[in-house]
Amino acid sequence: MLDAFRTAAAYPQGATAVSLPIDIMTKGTKTSIPALPATAFTPPEYGTSPSASLSRAASMIQNAKFPVLFLGTRAATPDAVQAVQGFLRKHPIPVVETFQAAGSISQDLAHLFFGRIGLFRNQPGDKLLAQADLVIVAGYDQSEYDADAWHKSQSLEILHLDWIPADYGAFYNPKLELVGSIAANVKALSDILANVSRPQEFEVAKSIFTEFHAWEQSPQALGQTGDGPIHPLYFIKLMQGMLPPSPTVSSDVGSMYIWLSRFYFAYSPKSFLVSNVQQTLGVALPWAIGASLSQEPPCSRKVISISGDGGFLYSGQELVTAVQQGCNITHFIWNDGKYNMVEFQEVDKYGRSSGVDLGGVDFVKYAEAFGAKGLRVSRSSELEAVMKEALSYKGVCVVDVEIDYSHNHELMRNVIQDNIS
Amino acid sequence: MLDAFRTAAAYPQGATAVSLPIDIMTKGTKTSIPALPATAFTPPEYGTSPSASLSRAASMIQNAKFPVLFLGTRAATPDAVQAVQGFLRKHPIPVVETFQAAGSISQDLAHLFFGRIGLFRNQPGDKLLAQADLVIVAGYDQSEYDADAWHKSQSLEILHLDWIPADYGAFYNPKLELVGSIAANVKALSDILANVSRPQEFEVAKSIFTEFHAWEQSPQALGQTGDGPIHPLYFIKLMQGMLPPSPTVSSDVGSMYIWLSRFYFAYSPKSFLVSNVQQTLGVALPWAIGASLSQEPPCSRKVISISGDGGFLYSGQELVTAVQQGCNITHFIWNDGKYNMVEFQEVDKYGRSSGVDLGGVDFVKYAEAFGAKGLRVSRSSELEAVMKEALSYKGVCVVDVEIDYSHNHELMRNVIQDNIS
Amino acid sequence: MLDAFRTAAAYPQGATAVSLPIDIMTKGTKTSIPALPATAFTPPEYGTSPSASLSRAASMIQNAKFPVLFLGTRAATPDAVQAVQGFLRKHPIPVVETFQAAGSISQDLAHLFFGRIGLFRNQPGDKLLAQADLVIVAGYDQSEYDADAWHKSQSLEILHLDWIPADYGAFYNPKLELVGSIAANVKALSDILANVSRPQEFEVAKSIFTEFHAWEQSPQALGQTGDGPIHPLYFIKLMQGMLPPSPTVSSDVGSMYIWLSRFYFAYSPKSFLVSNVQQTLGVALPWAIGASLSQEPPCSRKVISISGDGGFLYSGQELVTAVQQGCNITHFIWNDGKYNMVEFQEVDKYGRSSGVDLGGVDFVKYAEAFGAKGLRVSRSSELEAVMKEALSYKGVCVVDVEIDYSHNHELMRNVIQDNIS
Amino acid sequence: MLDAFRTAAAYPQGATAVSLPIDIMTKGTKTSIPALPATAFTPPEYGTSPSASLSRAASMIQNAKFPVLFLGTRAATPDAVQAVQGFLRKHPIPVVETFQAAGSISQDLAHLFFGRIGLFRNQPGDKLLAQADLVIVAGYDQSEYDADAWHKSQSLEILHLDWIPADYGAFYNPKLELVGSIAANVKALSDILANVSRPQEFEVAKSIFTEFHAWEQSPQALGQTGDGPIHPLYFIKLMQGMLPPSPTVSSDVGSMYIWLSRFYFAYSPKSFLVSNVQQTLGVALPWAIGASLSQEPPCSRKVISISGDGGFLYSGQELVTAVQQGCNITHFIWNDGKYNMVEFQEVDKYGRSSGVDLGGVDFVKYAEAFGAKGLRVSRSSELEAVMKEALSYKGVCVVDVEIDYSHNHELMRNVIQDNIS
């Protein structure tokens, strides 16, 4: 029960603890334990850190030549996001975010955004961190991206902002902790800071920024690689253009989650849902159902969910719930007939793959068995029309997308070799 | 690895231990551990107990007025079954078996069989045990049916036969253990025993036996209760008549598993597969696939699997495997649109049910999405024809059976109230 | 490592994380992992709660007719104690404390102190809580005294002050949490509060207070019960008079810890050391060694430790360390030749005791075997002189005190029957 | 409860299961669960393996050129020992034993005994195994001496005899298992075997045997290394000569347990008690008390226990029990003022030692504090007289022996480097 409360504690709305009555049978006698009175739990409001601590933090930032802001999951709450964006408008510095903090940076601040980091340490944001002399880490949970992965050197100066004290260790060793309201402390710092360095204007940062955006003009993203199965970059770029500013997009686990985590942009917090720590195959559709039901009013806006074909079969039967509840969900299956992420790791480790072939399912008919609409697309030239139909459909629609994973292995090999040490 | 071997040890065929090569990456260096040499493991042959122990056991049996034979999972091996049946032909006494020992009694010995026991203690076999002054327990594992459930009195005299020593405790407290080959010890006892009491001829036993078989002539079993959804007893009786002597029947978990465990008769060991201890919803179809693939030649004979509609959705996507592997499986879904076993327990405990409604799936179309044949039957009068079509179909066939669960709650209530104390 | 830091975080002095170099042997090859750089960990400074939260808290206190202050372990830090005492001088209200918060109330505030609570719910402080309409709980950890023990009614209004959010549940359900520096928040409340009720002036409170102090004039405490073995109350009262204001007193576990926790007064925090949660027999002497070594300069002031005879034998061999390190410790053994706390519980539950007899050790000679001084006292009339000698001895001295536990069982029976419900 | 029974099952005497009454308090209501009826548990008698298995086993033995008998803990029961010794008299082959099987070989068979193996793989018995083409393993539990330590090659042909099936794996991979009574199967094999090879007559075996006994004539064992502290070999040789044939000797853990396990000979089973798997410091004296109390009549014969000075302080206070119960125990403390086994491992791994210094205890006075007799010896020349006095003392006597551990580190270094690969 506590965990639910503690999670809830990051949000201003509060929560209600409910208990059920319990009957216990002992030697034929029934003892009834009545339900506990429902308790309206109000999470505590956190305050600002002591002014001495704030002054020390401000000095650290002002003395830094290359400060970088690093946003984690607990910095992706509405009040923290508002404070962070206010800070950046006044004191522009480069920002990276974890997968879970997706959407913390608004479109007007995109010139400060150096992408997401997590899982493999080979992304532009990782290169940026390697240049930093101060990392301002806000709302970060080490389970998002292990500190021993992104901070092998143990030598970065870290300023920790959170309402939870740092889980201090060899790899996550903040010089100073501001424990209290992230929003209040960010705002307080913003107010007292004067001259802050602008590392995004340094050549090295500009070069990383350019590298970060290079893919957008690649033949793959522009759909110029022939009319066969759909390339992930083309899918993502096309979809991003067809969606309203920040719809809820729910990602499953697998190769597609690497593509989406790197290349799908979100501009409002909690609008891109991704499983990282637990790597639970099959989460995309159930999360989409939850997101749809928690809209106000329920099921009022389109929710997108995306999975591989293997992941979809883990929980595809939840379509019955989605349909019965009147959800408004478009689910795209990136279908390559394989457990692709398992396959390329097997090839990497053992020189061949084994037991990864899927296929044999008619997903259109499968969708129809649950009362959902089914669509299918296997050529790049048809993607735009099918995507339009799927996104405009009111109700639950499943789209079987024949995906082009021909470069996945290469990409992953780079992932492993590109390690910054 | 050991568990696999130990399980294998009950069988005479032996087993092979295989190990895979392993690569371990440490700080960028790969260490390769080669595969271990494949080892042909031959399980040990167990012998006969010392003659002094056998004499003591024989005395116990000869002195008993009401001996009952209780067969568990490890008595359901070919050699043990042969020895047990030889014993019973020479020294006929009543027999009960756990769900896992299903099929240990052949049809010619059916007059000695008082049914299966397990889960709830309200079956004819339980009543029989309450009359016994000696229980000869062979190959029983306490996880099949907890001894504190069937032996509350702690006062039964127990003779233990197994190749595993008794897991001795307050409720399972054998007076004597014959640890060794079950087959060899049963045969040795059979040889040295002279006059053994025949409790099946006592009035109380006859009355229990009559009660055990009463359902077979009930209107429900005869399909005389109107032409609506199909009654479980009618389904079971009809199916039993249409199957070859002992086909493999795989049962899922739920209300249907109670019906099948009580009323479906099997006459050869390991031909009725039922999950009891772990209560794993969704096992029926995967087990059926395994049973089909392990036939010699693979997939050569029809395998039956049966589940509820809720259980089917746990693992229905395995149809793709069944179809791709060329299995010969008929899967019956007993469909009542609910999690029935959860429902009646909720009603019993809380006075109402919640969150148990299913429905909304077109199982015929679902089957077709995986390349299987789909059939549907909703009236008793149509069952025979549909069942015949389904059983004669070569390949994978799913049958959606509208089931009549209107009496389940009553039945269960009896289950709970009938406790023998 | 974290736990050490978190514990350290309650103190202003900081801490240093040290790691050792590690050698790992794999297949004959040694890999050396160097020591991590020593990191000087500085615990975060906590701030004040938001003013809106403070206002709400002030209203709760001002509206209460019978507010009670409840101090736990994390309120026993120097800065929190200073703030709490400042609060009480300005807004006098009754106070209770857990065993671990012993010493938080100074002698000049003793008229507000209603004793310690914990373990059994039958103390004056528990009676006081039963009268309260608001409990201000500061720095309390539920492991000190389970909330389901002292708050069965679940209906007390609770205001939570701590730098750790409440471990919210059915029994510990604060209406409001002030999460931040206990000292800062107590001081802030003290400043903004105007009229606070003075429940200590109510008749019911006066009566509880009188009951709380009644023992001090009892014949037992005054040593007027004959010249046999020493009564616990006489020992405590005598010792309290002979000690400087707040020496470090370390208590073992057993019957003696109940006597000391109830009747020994301490007036500065962390000066009375008691194990409660883990109930570790034998802790008194090792703790005393630690306390002695951590003095500045080490071993400069007398430390008292007290145990039973059974508990002493758990760790008495640590005398060798105490002597070798030059500690200045007087250890009193309350010797009744039994495991007394086990004995009276056995008698209570089974009507007789078993396996609790000790005895047969010459503790004077035992002390001498380790190079310590040994003393012995078996009559009340001799206690004062022996205690004086023991306390004035420079070095390690063990005193074998023949204790009068004749009333322990009665006392415990009261404990169980006095339950406030 | 089961474990106690299973352990008991190795012995012919049986055991009795006892349960205590339990009172459970729930919400103020006491439920009394009466004691279960005391059940006289009779462990099962195991029989002989099937004759086909025995024939296969006999062939394996007859075909072997270099068979070695390997005895483990479950082969050290009276009936198994008798059968094994009968086998060896008829079919003499070399024998090794684990520490736990100490005493399985009688003095008249000492010419076949190649010593104990365990812990480190550098003993004569290990060298012998490296020559074997068949190892007959009887009653061996892998926790005694890990199979991956003594059987790295995985290529030895193993014949397994036990009443427990083999815990089969890569390193313990018997070709054949005789599961049943060890005594009965050994006897059956003895009867049907004809010509068995005598590897003890091979040169390589003779050379190993000579090496095994070389120490007995060393200056250290003969006490010819000067009149300082006592050398372990001199102590052991002297003690062995002064004891009756097979007294109970209880060994603590530490350097002394390596010396005793290698060099102390016992000629009847269960007469040398050694902790190996759990490495529990302080076991020697409590075990000695148990051994003394379980004699018939209790405490009738002298029991020897031996520990280091560090290990003695873990449980020395049990002297009070030994004295009160009237035990007849002589406890020798091998006193070097250090945790020696920790010290030499620290030096080996880190180049220096830390935190291992003990000392400062007068063990003579310590013994007297508990009512035991205390003696002390610090020169080789005095050992014989003191040992004689200690062994002839009726009651509990503690002897503080100043031990010469000057060669321990060297010895251990050999231990590590001598690995047979």
* CB B410, CB B345: distance < 8 Å: no
B176: chain D residues, CB-CB within 8 Å: 42, 44
* CB D183, CB D104: distance < 8 Å: no
CA-nearest residue to D312 within chain C is C317
Mean pLDDT of A84-91: 98
In a shared domain, residues B246 and B329: yes
A152: chain C residues, CB-CB within 8 Å: none
> What SS3 class is residue B408?
helix
Chains contacting A (3 or more CB pairs within 8 Å)? B, C
CA dist C56 and C193 (Å) reads: 11
Is B377 inside a domain boundary? yes
Mean pLDDT of B85-109: 96
CB contact under 8 A, D17 and B154: no
Would strands B373-377 and B303-308 be described as parallel, antiparallel, or unpaired?
Answer: unpaired
Would strands D67-71 and D95-98 be described as parallel, antiparallel, or unpaired?
Answer: parallel
- Which of D368, D373, D400 best tests the C interface by mutation, with the highest count of C CBs <10 A? D368
In a shared domain, residues C341 and C236: yes
CA dist B144 and B76 (Å) reads: 13
In a shared domain, residues D310 and D289: yes
Would strands B39-41 and B15-17 be described as parallel, antiparallel, or unpaired?
Answer: antiparallel
CA dist A289 and A284 (Å) reads: 9
Query: In B254-357, which ranges are continuous DSSP H helix?
Result: 255-263, 284-293, 309-315, 319-324, 340-350
pLDDT band at B277 (very low <50, low <70, confident <90, very high): low
Residue A46, both tokens: 């956190």
**What is the tens place of the pLDDT at every residue in C356-371?**
999 999 999 999 999 9
In a shared domain, residues D207 and D228: no
CB contact under 8 A, A368 and B362: yes
Q: Which A positions 314-353 lie with beta carbon below 8 A of chain B?
A: 316-317, 320, 323-324, 349-350
Please state, rounded to an integer, the average pLDDT across all residues of chain D: 88
Count of C-beta atoms within a 10 Å radius of residue B32: 9
Q: State the pLDDT at residue A34.
A: 56
Is B17 inside a domain boundary? no
Q: Which amino acid does the sequence have at A382?
A: E
CA dist D367 and D400 (Å) reads: 10
Is D25 inside a domain boundary? no
CA-nearest residue to D357 within chain C is C321
Q: State the pLDDT at residue A411.
A: 59
In a shared domain, residues C280 and C386: yes
CA dist C417 and A313 (Å) reads: 61
CA dist A250 and A236 (Å) reads: 13
Is D321 inside a domain boundary? yes
CA-nearest residue to A152 within chain C is C36
Please say if the pLDDT value at position A4 is more than 70. Answer: no
CA dist B280 and B311 (Å) reads: 9
Of the candidates C316, C363, C365, the beta carbon closest to that of D365 is on C365
Q: State the pLDDT at residue A246.
A: 74
Of the candidates A9, A19, A50, the beta carbon closest to that of C45 is on A50
Of the candidates A23, A360, A370, the beta carbon closest to that of B320 is on A360
CA-nearest residue to A49 within chain C is C47
Of the candidates D9, D39, D47, the beta carbon closest to that of B48 is on D47
Ramachandran quadrant class, B395 (left: phi over 0; alpha: psi -120 to 50; beta: rest) = left
DSSP label of C217: G
Do you know the residue count of chain D? Answer: 421
Single out the residue in B186, B212, B238 at which a domain terminates.
B212
Q: State the pLDDT at residue A245.
A: 74
Number of C–D residue contacts, CB under 8 Å: 58
* CB D133, CB D70: distance < 8 Å: no
Q: State the pLDDT at residue D1.
A: 26
CB contact under 8 A, C360 and D371: yes
Is D5 inside a domain boundary? no
CB contact under 8 A, D324 and C369: no
> What SS3 class is residue A247?
coil
CA dist A212 and A113 (Å) reads: 10
Is B204 inside a domain boundary? yes
- Which of A19, A285, A339, A361 best tests the B interface by mutation, with the highest count of B CBs <10 A? A361
CA dist D222 and D258 (Å) reads: 19
**What is the tens place of the pLDDT at every residue in A35-47?**
554 556 889 999 9
Q: State the pLDDT at residue A120.
A: 78
* CB C71, CB C104: distance < 8 Å: yes
Chains contacting D (3 or more CB pairs within 8 Å)? B, C
Mean pLDDT of D388-412: 90
CA distance readout (Å), B209 to B93, B232, B274, C389, D56: 13, 21, 24, 88, 48
* CB A262, CB A287: distance < 8 Å: no
CA dist C133 and C61 (Å) reads: 10
Single out the residue in B190, B212, B234 at which a domain terminates.
B212
CB contact under 8 A, C365 and D362: no
Phi, psi torsion values for C403, nearest 5 degrees: -100, 150
* CB D66, CB D197: distance < 8 Å: yes
* Highest mean pLDDT: which range of A338-352, C249-263, D265-279: C249-263
* CB A88, CB A107: distance < 8 Å: no
Q: Which helix (H) or strand (E) holds D61?
A: helix D51-63
Would strands D134-138 and D158-162 be described as parallel, antiparallel, or unpaired?
Answer: parallel
Q: How far is D43 from chain B (nearest CA, A)?
A: 8
CA dist D182 and B200 (Å) reads: 41
Q: State the pLDDT at residue B35.
A: 54
Q: Which B positions 22-61 lie with beta carbon below 8 A of chain A?
A: 23
Q: CATH code at A332?
A: 3.40.50.970
Q: How far is A107 from chain B (nearest CA, A)?
A: 40
CB contact under 8 A, C360 and D23: no
CA-nearest residue to D152 within chain B is B36
DSSP label of B177: E
In a shared domain, residues D116 and D226: no
Q: Which residues contact D141 (CB under 8 A, 6 or more apart)?
A: D72, D73, D74, D100
Q: Note whether D365 contacts C: Cβ–Cβ < 8 A.
A: yes
CA dist D85 and D93 (Å) reads: 11
CA-nearest residue to B4 within chain D is D168
Please say if the pLDDT value at position A19 is more than 70. Answer: no
CB contact under 8 A, A324 and B371: no
D368: chain C residues, CB-CB within 8 Å: 362, 365, 369
Of the candidates A1, A167, A179, the beta carbon closest to that of C44 is on A179
Is B231 inside a domain boundary? yes
In a shared domain, residues B175 and B237: no
Q: B15: which strand partners?
A: B41
Of the candidates D23, D369, D371, the beta carbon closest to that of C369 is on D369
CA dist B257 and C26 (Å) reads: 52
- ipTM field: 0.86
Please say if the pLDDT value at position B296 is more than 60. Answer: yes
Count of C-beta atoms within a 10 Å radius of residue D88: 21
A369: chain B residues, CB-CB within 8 Å: 361-363, 365-366, 368-369
pLDDT band at D418 (very low <50, low <70, confident <90, very high): very low
pLDDT band at A17 (very low <50, low <70, confident <90, very high): very low
Q: Which helix (H) or strand (E) holds D331?
A: strand D329-335
Q: How far is A130 from chain B (nearest CA, A)?
A: 20
Q: How far is D130 from chain C (nearest CA, A)?
A: 20
In a shared domain, residues C279 and C323: yes
Single out the residue in D169, D193, D212 at which a domain terminates.
D212
Is C385 inside a domain boundary? yes
Number of domains in chain C: 2
**What is the tens place of the pLDDT at every residue in B118-164?**
887 889 999 999 999 999 999 999 999 999 999 989 999 999 999 99
Q: CATH code at C200?
A: 3.40.50.1220
Closest CA relative to residue D247, chosen from D103, D374, D95 = D103
Mean pLDDT of B222-234: 93
CB contact under 8 A, D44 and B165: yes
**What is the tens place of the pLDDT at every residue in C217-250?**
999 999 888 899 999 999 999 999 999 877 999 9
CA dist A304 and C167 (Å) reads: 37
CA-nearest residue to C359 within chain D is D320
Q: Note whether D389 contacts C: Cβ–Cβ < 8 A.
A: no
CA-nearest residue to B38 within chain D is D170
Residue with the bigger pLDDT between D263 and D11: it is D263
D159: chain B residues, CB-CB within 8 Å: none
CB contact under 8 A, C44 and A36: no
A197, A200, A201, A202: CA torsion to nearest 10: 90
In a shared domain, residues C259 and C222: yes
- Domain extent, residue C195, equals 51-212
Its sign, for the CA torsion A68, A73, A78, A79, is negative
Would strands B134-138 and B158-162 be described as parallel, antiparallel, or unpaired?
Answer: parallel
Q: Which helix (H) or strand (E) holds D129?
A: helix D124-131
B368: chain A residues, CB-CB within 8 Å: 362, 365, 369
Q: State the pLDDT at residue B411.
A: 59
* CB A215, CB A221: distance < 8 Å: yes
Please say if the pLDDT value at position C411 is more than 70. Answer: no
In a shared domain, residues D346 and D246: yes
> What SS3 class is residue C303?
strand
Q: State the pLDDT at residue A325.
A: 96
**What is the tens place of the pLDDT at every residue in C100-152?**
999 999 999 999 999 999 887 889 999 999 999 999 999 999 999 999 989 98
Please give the share of chain A, as a percent, with pLDDT higher than 70.
87
In a shared domain, residues D201 and D62: yes
Q: Is B295 exposed, middle or buried (0-12, 13-18, 19+ CB in 10 A)?
A: middle
A350: chain B residues, CB-CB within 8 Å: 23
In a shared domain, residues A250 and A192: no
CA dist B386 and C63 (Å) reads: 76
CA dist B222 and A277 (Å) reads: 56
Query: In A163-263, which ranges are continuous DSSP H helix?
Result: 182-192, 203-213, 232-242, 255-263
Please state, rounded to an integer, the average pLDDT across all residues of chain A: 88
Number of A–C residue contacts, CB under 8 Å: 100
Closest CA relative to residue C53, chosen from C44, C61, C41, C45 = C61
Number of B–D residue contacts, CB under 8 Å: 98
CB contact under 8 A, C369 and D365: yes
Q: Picking from A397-411, C223-237, C289-303, which range would have the lowest pLDDT averaged per residue? A: A397-411
C369: chain D residues, CB-CB within 8 Å: 361-363, 365-366, 368-369
Q: Which D positions 138-177 lie with beta carbon below 8 A of chain B?
A: 154, 160, 163, 165-170, 173, 175-177
